[in-house]
Amino acid sequence: MPIEKIDHELCIGCGICQDSCSLDVIYMDESGKAYARYPEDCVACYSCEKDCPAEAINVSPQRGRPVPHPW
């Protein structure tokens, strides 16, 4: 899955990654930490990782749902 992990220890609960996600993949859990609720919709745009002030997110280049190739 593209969002390999959101490190709960490092996550400061700021919610920026949730705002950075244009595909509504990231939510905050009951403890106020971020988690990938719909990882299959992630397209590895990498915004959450880039915007995270705590370096708690690691995105892999693999997409959640492969798309058909042109040829």
Among 1, 14, 45, 54, which residue sits at the site for other proteins (rule: CB under 8 A)?
45
Min dist. Cβ of residue 9 to other proteins (A): 21
How many CA atoms does the CB half-sphere of 67 hold within 13 Å? 6
For position 33 contacting other proteins by CB under 8 A, the verdict is no
Dist CA 71 CA 57 (whole Å): 33
CA–CA separation, 63 vs 5, rounded Å? 14
How many CB atoms are located within 10 Å of the residue 62 CB? 11
| Near other proteins by CB under 8 A: residue from 3, 6, 11, 21 | 21
The residue ranges that bind other proteins (CB under 8 A) are: 16, 18-24, 37-38, 40-41, 43-47, 50-51, 59-61, 63, 65, 67-71
